[in-house]
């Protein structure tokens, strides 16, 4: 009997106050991952306040630069260095400051399918090389969370959930220990 292959899931977050930009990004991102038969969890925010309040876990974050994006990224980076930040902007003058928060890159408005697909290709390649086998992927209420193995203190069963205690804090997710072990 063959073991069922685990399919990769990515957590994608979009935060821009321009609804038209958000809708285009969602269309391009969903089509991109659908073509590759890859699961995603897509979250959309329209304000910085909403994003900071939720502090979602992400693999890739598309963040509006004009929304005080550098300050928002600093707050997110205090929580975790994982994930790639891609700025959405109308002008290129912010490019240099974007790299101070380890931004992966930026795309110009109006967003175009080719640009979005190209930067997604690059970001996913980079994520795969970052720590391919030295991390655990869990799905929390906040999104897909990647935890480096060396940052895990312990796992424990809490009812029908598993709690993982890490260097970054504790996270609760659904699962079974023997599945997690394998």
Residue 101 has a pLDDT of 64
DSSP state, residue 57: -
Residue 67 has a pLDDT of 64
Q: Percentage helix, strand, coil, to 5, in the chain? A: 40, 35, 25
pLDDT, tens digit, 9 for 90 and up, residues 21-53: 999 999 999 999 999 999 999 999 988 889 888
| More confident site: 140 or 132 | 140
pLDDT, tens digit, 9 for 90 and up, residues 146-171: 787 878 888 988 888 899 998 878 88
| More confident site: 97 or 39 | 39
Strand, coil or helix: 24: helix
For range 89-101, the mean pLDDT: 65
pLDDT at residue 175 is higher than 70: yes
- Measured CA to CA in angstroms, residue 109 lies from 54, 65, 145, 170 at distances of 26, 11, 29, 38
Whether this prediction's pTM lies above 0.85 is answered by no
């Amino acid at each position: 009997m063959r073991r069922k292959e685990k399919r990769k899931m990515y957590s994608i977050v979009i935060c821009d106050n321009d609804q038209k930009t958000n809708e285009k990004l969602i269309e391009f991102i969903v089509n991109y991952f659908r073509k590759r038969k890859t699961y995603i969890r897509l979250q959309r925010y329209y304000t910085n306040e909403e994003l900071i309040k939720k502090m979602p876990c992400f693999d890739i974050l598309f963040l509006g630069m004009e929304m005080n994006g550098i300050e928002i990224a600093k707050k997110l980076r205090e929580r975790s260095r994982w994930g790639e930040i891609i700025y959405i902007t109308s002008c290129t003058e912010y490019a240099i400051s974007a790299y101070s928060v380890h931004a992966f890159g930026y795309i110009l408005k109006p967003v175009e399918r080719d640009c979005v697909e190209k930067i997604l290709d690059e970001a996913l390649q980079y994520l795969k090389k970052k720590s391919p086998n030295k991390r655990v992927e869990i799905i929390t209420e906040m999104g897909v969370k990647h935890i480096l193995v060396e940052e895990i203190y312990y796992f424990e069963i809490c009812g029908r959930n598993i709690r993982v205690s890490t260097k970054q804090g504790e996270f609760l997710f659904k699962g079974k220990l023997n599945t997690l072990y394998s």
